[in-house]
Structure 1
Amino acid sequence: MNNRKKIISWMTILLILMACHPLYTTAKAQDPEHIYVIKTSEMSAEEATMIATLQGLLAQQNSKIQLYLDREYGGYQTWLKDLEENYGIPYSYTDNPWELVKKSKIKDYILFKKGDDSINSATSLAGVTGAIAVEESLVGKAEFYGLKEKMDVRGKDEKWVKDHYWPQFKKDKIVEQKEDFAFQLRDFAVKEKSMIFYDGNSPFRSELMEGLKKDSTAFGWGDASSGEDQFISPSSKAGVFTIPSDHASNLSMLSSIKTGPLKQKTADTKRPANKNTHYVTFLMTDGDNVQWLLGDFQSDNRWYSSKERGTFNMGWGISPLLSELAPSVMNWYYESASHGEHSDQFVVGPSGNGYMYPSQYPEKELNKHVKKLNQYMGKTDLHIAQIIDFNSLENKSLWNKYTSQKNIDALFYLEYSRYDTHKGKIVWSNDKPIISAREMLWSGLAGADEKSVIESINSAPRNPESEQGYTLVLVHAWSKSLSDVKTVVEQLNSDVEVVTPEDFTSLIKENVTH
């Protein structure tokens, strides 16, 4: 075989391997040449639905012109400005949604009726027909602008859509979204040709999850009225993980942006342990929540905009799939992180590529999930993954799947209720630690207030060679702020040291007897 044939042969093998083990990907579009922006406050709910489906179609079609919905809250204006300043993509505002329809040259619409649940049917079919969703009150104006009715889905629910159009949808992702959300996440469902539905925790939901490919993604959020485990558990058993994203906007456009390498600022160095010292790391919960990362996590002074950020070492969760869903946003967080004497450091949010319970995931699907997680962690410079599960801390055969991956240095284990059930116990797998939370900051829970956590840490052993010499503190995002963490940090004794999550795990690996 000559050298040229050898090269071709190896290229063929490489392509086959990539096809067998692809990363999760969205339908990629080219970087837009111009973005038209419209404020959601300047549209009716019905117009917003129409524009969201139009936004998704333009992204799906790789249009040079893309749309962006300005929510006027959270990080949405930051992401828009970042695209112009750092990616050279200009934008301009408009206050007329119908002019956007005209510019798009879309010709057809799908008719739905507000209040009869047909909005999800229209959104689903928009993605596979190339028509925008139009509520019946807008028909006159739609036809004035030259649109023609392609389909009438009034009175038709998601079951009707599945019975008639299921083969046309992608089977590696699905969108779970309440019908009263006018525009959120609808653009992404359209772009990805994914079915969008909401049916509570019903047999129909289970049927949809079972009909997906293995290790697929459910975007949005389910019925958590009786606990989020009521829908995460059935999804996990079906080999489907969830990306909390029901309030997210603009994912169709943001997912088309290309960035350079995603690299955290924190240095990858080993530090020697100080004797007679207790080590602590703080980690904010709910980093898997993409809608929060896009929204007010960035802007609210409880979290990333806190004046306290950068005054002590702090751990944050983040979704590794943000590198596909909104890479410019992930890059912004990395570039904006504090670095120096005190650093911000990101770890993978629960429970890997998305929210699921590993002990309930089918074994073959879990193997696939973990391999993809390893690839994503390498791609996004993440080295620690959080896990939420039930009574699984000592299930070493489960963790061996994770720790056998080269990019996974450690796992932080959170018992579903409470996170700190195992009080800092460490289990070892392939010479890597599975570290349980020792303390929590969580409003309303006994022993999870600032005073209790301060007293517990200050009275803890000072012994880096023992697992008792380390405390992982989970900070509940919805009831506690960075100011609350600062209150604890300021009252810790001088022989207590607050470190980043990676320094924390490195100290444990190098010093704890196991």
Structure 2
Amino acid sequence: MINKAIILLCWACACGHAETVKFRPGSDKEAAFMVRSGGQLSGGNRRFADVRSSWTYRFNFKRSKGAKIELEIGNQYAVSYSTNDWEYLPLLDAGVTGEETKPQTIETVDVEKLLGGRPGMLYLKFADCVPENGWGGMLSSIKISGTLSDEKPAEPERPTFAGNPIPLPKKTADVVDVFDCGREPKAIQMMLCSLQGIVAQTQPAICLSAHNFWFKELEKSGVKTEVQPSWAALLEKHKGAVKGYILCDSETWNMATTFAGIRQGLVVHEEIESEIKAFGLKKLNDVRGKDLRWFHTFLSTKAKGRFAINGIVNIKDDRLAMRDWAIANKFIYVHSGLQPNILEKFYQLVAVGACRYGWNDPVDDEFGDVNFAGERGLFTIPTDHTQNLTLISALADPKLFRAAPPPVPAVAKIKNKHIVTILVSDGDNLNLMLEGYRDTYFGSSRRGEIPLGWMVPSSSFDLCPTTYKWYCENATDNDVLLGALSGPGYVYPSKMRGVDAYAKLYDFYNRRAGLKYGVIMDLPDSQAEQKEVFSQFLNRNSYQEGLFFIDYSNYAKWKGDAYLIDGKPVVSLRYILWEGQMSPEEIKQKLAASPTDPSSPESYSVIMLHLWSYNPDEIVEAFSDLPENVELVRPDLFLNMIKEAL
């Protein structure tokens, strides 16, 4: 269905005459016009925008008089245009619904009309007018008539963050105030989250959930608590840390959250302004009616140097999640539903190498989400529900904190067996580690009956130290913690801008958390590229002793391929336990017919358990009874054994 596009461009030469230039998407010439890549390509001459995927070209016209663009286009297309890369207006639409598609046709764009006869930039964005069914817009060719310039707008200057961008744990206040805000109106909840964050700029001292498991674990280390009877009592006690309030409405929660960190002002919705005024607090800013372009301009000019450049938070909807964290650390807080052209501009306000906290951008899917940030130099810590992180990340005494994963067992000499290990997916999600992992998966009563590898972000050592310590202390001899996905955060290394700096952070957190083995997910173009990139993460000087590799395009694409980098093993998945793909019984049948020569890499298999398809109890039941020629071992032992076979 999908073919490569041939794009015909009229290229302006110095004397002003138009010259027709042909090129295919993915070529160097297309890259000169592509602002944000996307869509799907394959052999041929077409590019498709299916569901939420899109791509954008930028054309710089020296002259627009008489200029036009002819698009050979079809299917369910939607084309919009912009002259500033902020506001995009509808331009062309296939005008179809349901499964109906429009035959390929020629659509003509009047450039002179759009640019008002003046020179300037014209942006064309191609998308899907019926994203529900995936037929997508289809572009076969473009023909541009006009005088173009090859000059590009200057890219924003961005520093590369040197060192660790993740804030280190702070010491809690001697007494932590507890107030459960769950039943309060949304406006009060938002205001209290901002109070929590402002106070935590100095010292974490507020918990907004009386039933938080990790806070109760923190109490065991000697943190004293005091329950506050009302939100008003809590505010009265801590209003000395507040300089005033930021007035907002339901459209500007996020803008106010960013201002709250910069100015130490409460986030106050217009509905409760009179109540907050009664505490003697003054209005610092009124962001009602302000749009994102104003917000971005303010941050890049008047607020420059006042917000942190080592992180940014973007969360879906108007949730409470991560607001205290953003305010405490003076991070920009934006909605994850922003269009890519706008989200990109906010990403460019922070440093290359910064951490992006959040999930669910409007960019295709999981890969598009993570890769969009990675291409702009940010690694992702997936979390879109986490609250109270300012307190969860704190410790009664950070200097005394210690947490060590279980020791690695000695290499066993197992003969005439096919060696297998199982990895549990999705541990990169911080919120899952705080809740779902502990409750449902790591909390299984049958955990420990068989060896399993549990993925955790190595940055959890600092983001939720009490949590990380709990996992270490509650691990059985059959449980192994693995740094994933891609270490302190989630990123595809071969696609990431500034990957060399990230590789250093990867090693820093492996050492800090004591994780000698890890999991990296990537989408390399070739095995040669994979090895070149991984050599930055695993080498003779790195702390880690081995890696498991997952290819995003097909988790088991490399079918157990294994090799050494500086004497350390990298092993890809051979099987996936994923509903609708292979069942435990089908995998066991394949294992029963597998080789058992310990000197051959073919005698070793890595299985990944998809967390949302099977629970640990089902896997324990299935893999407690294995064929006689199969031995299930811990992931760390597995890597040490296959190392001797490579």
CA distance in 1, matches of 2:484, 2:229: 38
Within-5 A mapping of 1:36-51:
36-51=177-192
Match of 1:386 in 2: 519
The one-letter amino acid paired with 1:325 is L
1:421-460 to structure 2, matched below 5 A, reads: 421-444=557-580, 446-447=581-582, 449-460=583-594
Out of 493, 509, 512, the residue aligned to residue 358 of structure 1 is 493
Residue in structure 2 matched with residue 60 of structure 1 by the alignment: 201
| 1:507 aligns to 2:612 (yes or no) | no
Using the alignment, how far apart are the partners of 1:278 and 1:41 within structure 2? 52
Say whether residues 1:288 and 2:428 are aligned partners.
yes
- Confirm whether residue 299 of structure 1 aligns to residue 435 of structure 2: no
Q: TM-score, normalised by structure 1?
A: 0.88
User: How far did residue 95 of structure 1 move?
Assistant: 4.7
Gaps of 5+ in 2: 1-159
What is aligned with 1:142? 276
Deviations 1:318-368 (A, max 9, x none): 1111111111111111111113xxx21100111222111111123xx2121
C-alpha contact 1:442 1:479 (8 A) present in aligned 2: yes
* Residue in structure 2 matched with residue 473 of structure 1 by the alignment: 607
Q: Which amino acid aligns with 1:174?
A: I
Q: Which residue of 1 aligns with 2:450?
A: 312
> Within 2, Cα distance between the matches of 1:224 and 1:278?
44
Whole-angstrom CA distance in 2 between matches of 1:177 and 1:474: 28
| Separation (CA, whole Å) in 2 of partners of 1:24 and 1:225 | 25
More strand by share: 2
CA distance in 1, matches of 2:373, 2:516: 26
**Secondary structure in structure 1 of the residue aligned to 2:413:** coil
Task: Assess, with a 3 A threshold, how the Cα gap between structure 1 residues 466 and 27 changes in structure 2: closer, same or farther.
Answer: closer
Q: 1:169 corresponds to which residue?
A: 307
Name the amino acid aligned to 1:185. Answer: M
Report what 2:119 is aligned to: none
2:369 alignment counterpart: 231
Partner of 1:191: 328
The 8 Å contact of residues 410 and 505 in structure 1, kept in 2 or not, is answered as: yes
- Sequence identity percentage: 27
Q: What RMSD in Å do the two structures reach over aligned CA positions?
A: 2.0
After superposition, residues 84-483 of structure 1 pair within 5 angstroms as 84-85=219-220, 87-105=221-239, 106-114=242-250, 116=251, 118-166=252-300, 167=304, 168-181=306-319, 183-198=320-335, 199-223=337-361, 226-257=364-395, 258=398, 259-265=400-406, 267-300=407-440, 303-339=441-477, 343-362=478-497, 365-391=498-524, 392-394=526-528, 395-404=530-539, 405-444=541-580, 446-447=581-582, 449-483=583-617
Paired positions, count:
474
Alignment CA distance shift 1:293-1:22 (3 Å): same
Native 8 Å contact 2:363 2:372 kept in 1: no
Native 8 Å contact 1:170 1:192 kept in 2: yes
Closer, same or farther in 2 for the Cα pair 1:28/1:260, shift >3 Å? closer
2:292, 2:233 → 1: CA distance?
31
Q: Partner letter of residue 418 of structure 1? A: N
* 2:208 match: secondary structure: strand
Tell me the distance in 2 between the aligned counterparts of 1:437 and 1:155: 51
Greater RCO, 1 or 2 (C-alpha within 8 Å, sep 6+) = 1
Question: Matches of 1:190 and 1:21 in 2, distance apart?
Answer: 22
Where structure 1 has 5 or more consecutive residues not aligned to the other structure, the ranges are: 1-18
Match of 1:4 in 2: none
SS in 1 for 2:422: strand
Structure 2 residue identity aligned to 1:425:
D
Aligned in 2, Cα 1:157/1:67: closer, same or farther, shift over 3 Å? farther
Which is further off, 240-249 or 37-46? Answer: 37-46
State the secondary structure of the residue aligned to 2:179. Answer: strand
> Which is further off, 250-259 or 282-291?
250-259
**CA deviation after TM superposition for structure 1 residue 20, in Å:** 9.4
**Letter of the structure 2 residue corresponding to residue 68 of structure 1:** C
Distance in structure 2 (CA, Å) of the matches to 1:371 and 1:296:
30
1:498: which partner in 2? 632
Q: How has the CA–CA distance of structure 1 residues 218 and 432 changed in structure 2, closer, same or farther, with 3 Å as cutoff?
A: same
State the alpha-carbon separation in 2 of the partners of residues 196 and 288 from structure 1: 21
Query: In structure 2, what is the Cα distance between the partners aligned to 1:477 and 1:427?
Result: 27
Deviation at 1:176, TM superposition (A): 0.7
Q: Answer yes or no: is the 8 Å Cα contact 1:320–1:377 preserved in 2.
A: yes
SS of the residue aligned with 1:175? strand
1:212-251 Cα distance to aligned partner (Å, 9 max, x none): 2121110011326731122221211121100001111111
Matched AA of 2:557: T
- Native 8 Å contact 1:42 1:95 kept in 2: no
Task: Report the counterpart of residue 6 of structure 1 in structure 2.
Answer: none
1:26/1:255 contact within 8 Å kept: no
How far the C-alpha of 1:256 sits from its partner, in A, is 2.8
User: 2:423·2:609 contact (CA, 8 Å) conserved in 1?
Assistant: yes
- Which amino acid counterpart does residue 411 of structure 2 have in structure 1? R
8 Å CA contact 1:55–1:67 kept in 2: the answer is yes
Which of the two has greater helix per residue?
1
Return the TM-score normalized by structure 2: 0.70
1:245 and 1:291 in contact (8 A); partners too: yes
Matched-pair contact (CA < 8 Å) for 2:166–2:355: no
| AA aligned opposite 1:211 | L
> Are the equivalent residues in 2 in contact too, given 1:158–1:197 (CA < 8 A)?
no
